[in-house]
A = this chain, B = another copy of it.
Amino acid sequence: MNIDEILNNIYPLSDTSKQLLKKSITEVKYKKGYILLRADKIEKNIYFIKKGVARAYSNKDNIEITFWFGKEGDTIISMKSYIANQKGYENIELLEDCELYELKTTNLQKLFDEYIDIANWGRRFAEKELVKTEERLISRQVRIATERYKELLKDNPDLIQRIQLGHIASYLGITQVSLSRIRAEIK
């Protein structure tokens, strides 16, 4: 998934605006296991995943709780950093070797104030992330773990192949033992 496609999927931009945005974007590569974002830092970049898989996790009583997975086309971002310029909740670990587009957000604010299509790009970006986040929240609230696992299996079968089950169990809000029980049951 190349950067033009990713940017355009969010909101169509004029050539001028797209060039301005792309001025702040570079391509980077990191190895599996690399910690891209840290919860105790205010992040100045957001990343679009060209290739690879990542997870977000928080530490709670020395236990890592995974609450997000991202793959090709998804955005890696500390919302709190991006929106409120505050420390976020998430550590981001790359679960495969990754190729990423890195967008420096330092002069984004200025672009928002000057170019209406970039402002609307930023609006659309937040809106789309909002719908995704809301879906996750409601799925978590309304469905029990078994159903959420089946949902994940249906919507993202590749993730279950690419990500170890301990992380998936954490993401589903259950223990790995419970997930094993679920998997044994639905076979």
Contacts and interface: CB of A to CB of B under 8 A. Distances in A.
Interface of A: 58, 60, 65, 67, 79-80, 83-84, 89, 112-113, 115-116, 119-120, 122-123, 126-131, 133-134, 136-138, 140-143, 173
Give 9 nearest A-B pairs by CB, closest first.
Answer: A123-B123, A126-B126, A119-B119, A116-B116, A67-B141, A137-B137, A130-B130, A126-B127, A83-B127
Contact of A79 (B65, B80, B115, B134): B134
Chain A contact residues, majority secondary structure = helix
A112 B11 CA distance: 13
Contact of A138 (B89, B112, B119): B89
A141 B142 contact: no
A128 B123 CA distance: 11
Given A123-B112, A141-B173, A131 B67 contact: no
A141 B139 CA distance: 12
A74 to B, nearest CB: 15
14 contacts: A65-B142, A67-B137, A67-B138, A79-B130, A79-B134, A83-B130, A83-B131, A115-B116, A116-B119, A119-B120, A122-B123, A130-B133, A136-B137, A140-B141
A131 B65 contact: no
